[in-house]
């Protein structure tokens, strides 16, 4: 039975369908489980965008794991980064001596992730790695290493599966490109 997908009025086209998303998350979960075999992992979900991705990814990682959350912003209500990163919610527990996997929805310029890696690195974890659902390599300005990447994208404004437009459209089951008239 094929899944019927309805486009939101803001969506120009579907870039990544729900099946492809779930297949890639399963692959990432296997890879992470293999790389951290025999170790405990602290998964740091970057709110709000990464919550759906993190939820599905955690179920595919076959390791002892703790889950914590951070909320940061550099976009506000714009479609472009302001260049200023603000921590809105910090971790609940210490990560000192622990293996940390930061899970993010999208890396665009890399500014936010670069800031997070520095802040969390100062807390003396055993290791920090980055897992991102979507990456726009052509926009990256900061030299950060992405350890696990779901999908590499062109420079288009995308929403769905946690990615939002002014707080909306996170609930779409796919990742879609926003129509040009809305992406301002």
Active site residue 108: yes
* 6 or 129, which is more confident: 129
Q: Choose, from 12, 68, 105, 108, the residue flagged as catalytic.
A: 108
User: Residue 73's pLDDT is what?
Assistant: 77
Confidence (pTM)? 0.90
- Check pLDDT > 70 for residue 65: yes
Model confidence at 2, pLDDT cuts 50, 70, 90, reads very low
Q: Check if CATH label 3.40.50.10420 holds for domain 24-156.
A: no
Model confidence at 5, pLDDT cuts 50, 70, 90, reads low
User: Which one, of 119, 102, 115, lies nearest residue 57 by Cα?
Assistant: 102
- Check pLDDT > 50 for residue 44: yes
């Amino acid at each position: 039975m094929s899944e019927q997908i309805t486009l939101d009025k803001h969506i120009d086209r579907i870039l990544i369908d729900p099946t492809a998303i779930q297949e890639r998350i399963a692959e990432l979960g296997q890879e992470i489980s293999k790389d951290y075999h025999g170790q405990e992992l602290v998964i740091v979900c970057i709110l709000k965008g990464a919550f759906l991705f993190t939820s599905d990814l955690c179920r595919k990682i076959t390791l002892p794991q703790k889950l914590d959350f951070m909320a940061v912003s550099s976009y506000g209500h714009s479609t472009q980064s302001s260049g200023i990163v603000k921590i809105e919610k910090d971790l609940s527990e210490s990560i000192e001596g622990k293996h940390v996997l930061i899970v993010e929805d999208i890396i665009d310029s890399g500014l936010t992730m670069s800031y997070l890696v520095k802040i969390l690195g100062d807390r003396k974890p055993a290791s920090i790695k980055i897992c991102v659902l979507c990456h726009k390599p052509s926009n990256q300005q900061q030299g950060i290493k992405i350890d696990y990447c779901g999908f590499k994208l062109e420079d288009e404004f995308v929403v769905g599966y946690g990615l939002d437009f002014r707080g909306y459209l996170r609930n779409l089951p796919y990742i879609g490109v926003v129509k040009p008239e809305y992406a301002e």
